[in-house]
Structures are given as structure tokens and as C-alpha cells.
Chain A
Amino acid sequence: MPVFRSHADDTRPQIETVLQVEKEGAGHAAAVAAVKALEAQPPSALLPLLQAMDQANPLAANWLRGAFEAVADRNAKQSNSLPVDDLEKFLLDRNHAAQPRQAAFDLLVRLDPKADDRLVPGMIDDPCPEFRRAAVQRLIDAAAKASEAKDAAKSKSLYQQAFAAARDPDQLDLTFDELTKLGEKPDLKRQLGLLSDWWVIGPFDHRKGIGFDVAYPPEKEIDLKKKYGGMLGEVAWTHLESDDRHGIVDLNKLLARHKGAIVYAYREFESEKAQPAEIRLGTPNGWKLWVNGQLAFAHEEYHLLTQMDQYPTRVMLHPGTNRFLLKICQNEQTEDWAQDWQFQVRVCAPTGAAVLPKDAKAAPGSAGG
């Protein structure tokens, strides 16, 4: 009998123990011993470890990845001992989760640096954001080369493919600009899933930082016809639409410049089905978000930074009408760099694909998500 023998049944008890790892240290003491045993396994444990990552929570997935890399590392010098074909088969099966597929990809490329060229081009519609991004980048690079070679038709075609496939804001921005130069009218907001029109009401009082935890009327009821007492007098709901390229709703510009003030922004979102989604907020201000009357997240910091996708909040959308309510709080800092009062929202699937409301209009020339 060999000293080391491993197949799925051998490793299952240890894997099960690691899968019990939870937040706040739960299951850690048992998992420390289990992961040590897994790290001592032969290469035949690699596939069971990847398969287990499919079922793992994000924390347990990292424990399993640690074991996967330790086993792979110990055996990498004898690459013929590694189940390369099985690893590639696992990688190419898009039913598997992104993380274990990434672990398989990293190992395959380490063993054969040319595997990158072989595998990436076919990943243009991959649900894994990193694979898809790499494939899109190849199209962008090819489009730029075609442009340099004065082949405008080929360049345009490649940029169109890249724009249709891209999900990351930087790649969408770049391809949008190139297509616009080529006379196209791509719909950047739609491709990003930006929500640029909102009902807004305010200002409510946030002087001396008092308002973050005060439940002003919009937190108790949404009635777009009602008026309420605000910080400076009566306030009413107003419909605002941002014309910003990235859907930034600039409250200083669209409402009025206030300090120590709060606005609420409300809109409805028609979802075709029940689906998980990320509401991705960017704001330099303190904020709260309610979805269908439930507080989804709240965070109070001011003027450290603002960017797209700054705060992704995972929610479950209901089929039909979903109600989004935002509270955007401006503090009273006086520095030049502390004056912005704004927000930007897009809705994406966990893979990064834009999730559009059912009634979203398709712009001429826009590509599907």
C-alpha cells in the first residue's frame, strides 16, 4: 500500500470540516487540523479540493485554496504527476464557481505559460469576471492594432465586440470612446446598468452630524405627492435626471448647495424575475440604502473618496416592482475637497453584468448585456 493514497472519499471528512468554517472564527479550531491534513495529500486531492470550493462560502473557499496551492506547489516540479487534463476540464466547465476555476487556471498557466493564449480567447462570454476581462482586453488590443494599420472597418468591428462583451467600467469607457470616434452611438449608461433618474427630496437637517440616525418622513412612508418640513422650510419630491456620462446625480447642481444636510432619493425598479443583484453605489457622503423597505446597508464616512462601484450591496430583487430608497448625508467640512454631494448607482448581477429594469429603453446602436 502506498504511503499516500487519496481520492474523494479520503479527503471528504477534512473537506467537510473546512466547509464548516464560518464568520467570526466559527469552526476554525477544527479546520486548522483539517487543512493541515489536506495540505499533505497527493495530487489526486486537487480535483476534490476544487469541487469543494464550489460549495464553499468565501471564507472556506480560501482555506481550500490554501490547501490546493500547497498540494500543487509541492508537486509542481513533477508536472506529469498533476491531473492537468482534469484541471483544464474543470476550468472550462462554466457551471463551476469563479474562484476554483481561477485556481485551476493559475496552476495551468504556471505549468504551461502558453496555456494563456490557448484558453483566454474563448472566454469572451465567460461568467467569471477576470476571464471575461482578459478576453475583452485581447479584442481591445487587436482593435487598436487594426486602427494603427488603418483598417477602420476591422477596428470598429472589434471594438463593437469588446463593448458588447465588456463589463468593467474602464473597458466600457475605452471602447465607448473609440466607437464614438468611429461615428457609432453606443449606450454606455445601459451597458453599465446606471440608474440616472431619481425622485429626490430635501434638505433635511444634518447640522452637527445629527441626521444620520434620525428617521425623517421618507423613511416612514413614500408618497411622492406629500410635502414635509425640512431643514429650511417645506420640501417636496422632485424628479431629477442626471445627464452625466456616468449617471452621477450632483445634488449641489441639481438641487442646491447645502451643508449639514440630507436628501432622500427614491426610485422603482421593475425586475423581470426574482434575482440576486448588487446595488453598486458611489458617493463621497454618508449613506443608507433601503430595498423594499428593508435597510440593506449604511455607512457613514465623508470625503475620503468616490468612485464607481465604491459600495456594492448584495440584495435579492423581487419579480415586479422593487423600491430603492437612498439617504445621502452631507457634512459641514469647509475644505475645497469636501464639497461634493452626489451619488451614482448601477445595478449588476454578481458576475458584473448590468441588470436593467424591465422598462429600460434600448438606445439605437446599443449592444445587449
Chain B
Amino acid sequence: MRNLAIVLAILVTYRGVRADDWRQFRGNDSSGISTETNLPTKLDDPKSLAWKAPLPGRGLSGPIIVGDRIFLTASSGYRDDALHVLCFSCATGQKLWQRTFHATGRTVCNEVMCMATPQPCSDGERIYCYYSCNDVVCLDLDGNLVWYRGLGLDYPNVSSSLGMSSSPVVVDGTVVLQLDTDSDSFVAGLNALTGETRWKIAQGRSAIWSSPVVYRPSVAVKPQVIVHAKNALVSLDPATGKENWKVDQPGAKIPSTTVARNILLSPLGQLTALRPLGTTGTPERLWSEARLSPDNPTPVAYQDRVYVFKGSVLTCADLATGKTAWQLRLKCQGAYSSPVAGNDHIYLADENGILQTVRLGGKKGEVASRLDLGERIMCTPALAGGAFYVRSDQHLWKFADATPDQIAH
């Protein structure tokens, strides 16, 4: 009986790992794509808005989705020192819980940014929230604190007056964070269960706002974490921080590397396609293309094409060669949000709150829908559970096809 009770308890509390989770910046595998085929594509159809929920503070961080819950960070207060972690129901948009902490690091940043700029990440059991003031919070999915680190207290000179934006990743029990500033820089791996430092590697002094990405083309190979350093693209072993390989070429400071199956698309001046040769040796360079050099948004690769959203122009190029296939000028302004893709569409959000979907598959992309949310959007959206999620300055929004059983989780 006792064993049965334990099994039942496990069944009640277990939240299975779902392929349609969206657990970090630009999705589970840092690709920015979803394989789901029931994603909404007509965002301007009023029936597609499932719900919107008010937020207690600003944020440039996008939502992450684990099972039937959405997790989001926000910050508020005159000093922007109230750090919030929020949990919502995917089905209803109801806020399930909120936690608030007090920033322990410096909270100065550019007025466009705020402390809740980096996106949280999750391993399916816990969420890891990193803020611009270098506070790191780990909570379980029910909002119980697991641990709290103040990297701003530990390393007060690792601080940028513009703000920090690099989103962490969690790999096999290690939370990897990149803190690169003009005054001091490092990449660190924290024990996901305790927050203790597993490793810390000094980086060259240079402000970098891009995020580490996880490269793991199959579960059979060791994962690699790819980071942009001052003068190189570097692959690290997330368990030890040991360098696997590096490409000695300065990279972009804001957009991140994109993972396209076994290829890395890195903004190294020109957008460069690299094929790593395992964990040793310099990756094979497939092509470099100046015309695809990204601005703030990170490119996305989808169905053998790569898409770069720069200014108001969406450029489509061949993933194998980098050769431009078409360009589409859109009615929008520049974006901080990175494009995401799924269900044969590219999803775009500009700074002014214009959402657009672009239908793919023809000779050239076509705008499938356009919706003005009327609020600034600085985050990268999420695609999960048959839905499109985005956060604006004041709200979290869910769009899904109108069929009730497609909305419900």
C-alpha cells in the first residue's frame, strides 16, 4: 500500500516533459521554431485572441511555457528594484501565483530596458530567472523558492549602465549565464539544484547582449553551449566550462547564434553558417553572407530557409548556400523581437506592437495577418501547445485557433 501511495503521489505531481513546451529564449533547442501544425496564423481574426492578462510591471523577457503553465518575469518600482516572477494558466490566462524579490545588484539601465530583460529558462521541473541587476532566482513550478543568487553582490563590477540582456540556458543540471560588460566579463555554470558555482570563466572585457545557445543535434551527443565572446565564437562544455572549440572572429553583440539542426548560424560580422565537427576541431564553414548580417533580432532557420528580419524587411535565403531567395518589405518599424516560425508561417513583432504573420511556401512570402496590439513589444514570442504567446508592456497575450478543444490544454 505504501508503494502504491508513493506511485500515486508521483503521478499526481508529475508534469511530463512535453515536446511542445517553450522553455527558453527562442524555444527548447534555441532554434526559434515549432513543429506544431495547429498554430494560429490569422492573428488579426478577433476569434484568435484567447485571452490577455494584465502584468504588474514591464519586461523585455518573453514568456516560457512548461506543460500547462506560462512563466514570465517583470520588474517595477521607481528604482525598478522589485523583481517579479509570474505564473499563468495557459488555458485561462489566470494568474496562478506571483513572487516578488528585491534586487541586490545595480538597477540602472537604459530607459528602453528594465531589470526583467533576460528571458527565464526551465528544465521542466524548475524555472531559472535572471535579471539585469544580476540576481538569479530558481523556483519550482509551484512558486516555491529553491535558491537565490546575487551575482551583482558577488561581482559588483560586472555591470553595464545600458543593462544586461543575455538570457540563460539550462543544460543537464547546469544553468549557464553570460555576463559580459565593458568593465568585467564572465560565463558561469551554476548548479541547477543549489545555485552554487560549478565553473566560471573570465571573458574579454566587452559588452555583449547576445544569449548563449545549446547545440545538441541529437540526444546521443554531448551538448555544447555556444557563446559570443569579445573576439570569437566559443563552444563550451556546460558541465565543466571547458572550451571545446572556437572560431576567432568577432561576433555581433546583440543577436545570438541560431541553431538549425546540425548547423549554427552565427552573426560573425557576416551571417556565417558553421557545421561543428563534434566537440573538437574547428567547425566547417559552409558560407558567409554580408547581406544577411542581422540587426537586433536573431535570424530563424525554417524548412531549409533562413529568415532575417532587419528594419522593416524580411529576407529569405537558402540555408544551404546563403543565397537570397526573396525579400519582403513590411509595414512596420524596427524590432527587438526575434522572429519565430511554425505552421508554415513566420511570426514577427515590431517595437510599436505590430504583430504580423508571413505565409511561406510560395515563390515569395505573403503577409497573412497584421494586428496592432497598441502596446510596445520588446520580447521574442513563444509558440507552444497550439498557441502564440507574446508579452507587451502591460499585458501577456495568447492567440490560438478558435476551436475550443484546440485552445484547451
Residues of A within 8 A of B (CB): 21, 23-25, 28-29, 31-32, 35-36, 39, 58-59, 61-63, 65-67, 69-70, 73, 99, 102, 106, 129-130, 133, 168, 170, 297-302, 304-307, 309-312
Given contacts A29-B196, A65-B101, A301-B160, 5 further A-B contacts (CB under 8 A): A24-B197, A32-B147, A35-B145, A67-B145, A69-B99
Q: How far is the CB of A123 from chain B (nearest CB, A)?
A: 15
Given A24-B154, A300-B183, A305-B108, also A70-B145 (CB < 8 A): yes
- Asked if A301 contacts B181 (CB within 8 A), the reply is yes
- Asked if A23 contacts B161 (CB within 8 A), the reply is no
Chain B residues, CB < 8 A from A36:
144, 146
B333 at the interface (CB under 8 A from A): no
Chain B interface: which size bin? 35 or more
Residues 133 to 162 of chain B near chain A (Cβ within 8 Å): 135, 137, 139, 143-150, 153-154, 156-157, 159-162
Cα distance A66–B127 when bound, in Å? 14
Cα distance A25–B195 when bound, in Å? 6
Residues 173 to 201 of chain B near chain A (Cβ within 8 Å): 181-183, 190, 193-197
B97 at the interface (CB under 8 A from A): yes
Chain B residues, CB < 8 A from A302:
182
Given A31-B147, A61-B102, A65-B101, also A304-B161 (CB < 8 A): yes
B110 at the interface (CB under 8 A from A): yes
- Asked if A304 contacts B160 (CB within 8 A), the reply is yes
Cα distance A21–B145 when bound, in Å? 14
Chain A residues, CB < 8 A from B101:
62, 65-66
Cα distance A129–B109 when bound, in Å? 20
The main secondary structure of chain B at its interface with chain A is loop
Can you list 22 A-B pairs with a CB-CB distance of less than 8 A? Answer: A24-B197, A28-B147, A29-B194, A31-B147, A32-B146, A62-B102, A62-B137, A65-B100, A66-B145, A69-B100, A69-B143, A70-B143, A73-B143, A102-B102, A298-B157, A299-B183, A300-B205, A301-B183, A302-B182, A304-B182, A305-B110, A305-B161
Chain B residues, CB < 8 A from A62:
101-102, 104, 135, 137, 148, 150
Chain A residues, CB < 8 A from B161:
301, 304-306, 310
A103, closest chain B residue (CB): B100
B345 at the interface (CB under 8 A from A): no
Counting chain A CB atoms within 10 Å of each CB, the highest count among B100, B161, B207 belongs to: B161
- Asked if A25 contacts B197 (CB within 8 A), the reply is yes
B77 at the interface (CB under 8 A from A): yes
Cα distance A265–B162 when bound, in Å? 25
- Asked if B102 contacts A28 (CB within 8 A), the reply is no
Cα distance A231–B77 when bound, in Å? 45
Q: How far is the CB of B99 from chain A (nearest CB, A)?
A: 5
- Asked if B197 contacts A168 (CB within 8 A), the reply is no
Give 3 nearest A-B pairs by CB, closest first: A66-B145, A25-B196, A301-B182
Residues 185 to 231 of chain B near chain A (Cβ within 8 Å): 190, 193-197, 205, 207
B78 at the interface (CB under 8 A from A): yes
Cα distance A206–B55 when bound, in Å? 47
A73, closest chain B residue (CB): B97
Cα distance A309–B80 when bound, in Å? 13
Which residue of A63, A66, A297, A307 is within 8 Å of B156 (Cβ)?
A297
Cα distance A304–B160 when bound, in Å? 8
Chain A residues, CB < 8 A from B135:
62
B106 at the interface (CB under 8 A from A): yes
Q: How far is the CB of B66 from chain A (nearest CB, A)?
A: 18
Chain B residues, CB < 8 A from A168:
78
Cα distance A69–B32 when bound, in Å? 34
Q: How far is the CB of A367 from chain B (nearest CB, A)?
A: 21
Cα distance A369–B151 when bound, in Å? 34
Chain B residues, CB < 8 A from A65:
100-102
Cα distance A59–B100 when bound, in Å? 13
Residues of B within 8 A of A (CB): 77-79, 97, 99-102, 104, 106, 108-110, 135, 137, 139, 143-150, 153-154, 156-157, 159-162, 181-183, 190, 193-197, 205, 207
- Asked if B108 contacts A310 (CB within 8 A), the reply is yes
- Asked if A66 contacts B148 (CB within 8 A), the reply is yes
A57, closest chain B residue (CB): B153
Chain B residues, CB < 8 A from A309:
108
B162, closest chain A residue (CB): A304
Q: How far is the CB of A31 from chain B (nearest CB, A)?
A: 7
Chain A residues, CB < 8 A from B194:
25, 28-29, 32
Q: How far is the CB of B218 from chain A (nearest CB, A)?
A: 33
Cα distance A297–B104 when bound, in Å? 17
Chain A residues, CB < 8 A from B154:
23-24
Given A29-B196, A32-B193, A59-B150, also A66-B99 (CB < 8 A): yes
Given A61-B102, A300-B183, A304-B182, also A28-B195 (CB < 8 A): yes
A308, closest chain B residue (CB): B108
Chain A residues, CB < 8 A from B195:
25, 28, 32
Chain B residues, CB < 8 A from A59:
104, 148-150, 153
Cα distance A25–B157 when bound, in Å? 18
Chain A residues, CB < 8 A from B137:
62, 66
Chain B residues, CB < 8 A from A69:
99-100, 143
Q: How far is the CB of A44 from chain B (nearest CB, A)?
A: 19
Counting chain B CB atoms within 10 Å of each CB, the highest count among A65, A106, A304, A311 belongs to: A304
- Asked if A299 contacts B147 (CB within 8 A), the reply is no
A26, closest chain B residue (CB): B196
- Asked if B149 contacts A25 (CB within 8 A), the reply is yes
- Asked if B144 contacts A70 (CB within 8 A), the reply is yes
Cα distance A194–B100 when bound, in Å? 32
- Asked if B104 contacts A58 (CB within 8 A), the reply is yes
- Asked if B106 contacts A311 (CB within 8 A), the reply is yes
- Asked if A28 contacts B145 (CB within 8 A), the reply is no
- Asked if A58 contacts B78 (CB within 8 A), the reply is no
- Asked if B106 contacts A170 (CB within 8 A), the reply is no
Cα distance A36–B142 when bound, in Å? 12
- Asked if A305 contacts B145 (CB within 8 A), the reply is no
Chain A residues, CB < 8 A from B78:
130, 133, 168, 170
Cα distance A168–B137 when bound, in Å? 28
- Asked if B162 contacts A58 (CB within 8 A), the reply is no
Cα distance A301–B108 when bound, in Å? 14
Cα distance A129–B107 when bound, in Å? 15
Q: How far is the CB of A299 from chain B (nearest CB, A)?
A: 5
Cα distance A29–B192 when bound, in Å? 11
Given A69-B99, A309-B108, A310-B108, also A301-B144 (CB < 8 A): no
Cα distance A307–B181 when bound, in Å? 18
Counting chain B CB atoms within 10 Å of each CB, the highest count among A21, A66, A69, A298 belongs to: A66
Cα distance A61–B148 when bound, in Å? 10
Chain B residues, CB < 8 A from A58:
102, 104, 150, 153
Chain A residues, CB < 8 A from B139:
66
Cα distance A70–B141 when bound, in Å? 12
- Asked if A301 contacts B207 (CB within 8 A), the reply is yes
Cα distance A102–B148 when bound, in Å? 19
Chain A residues, CB < 8 A from B160:
301, 304
A22, closest chain B residue (CB): B153
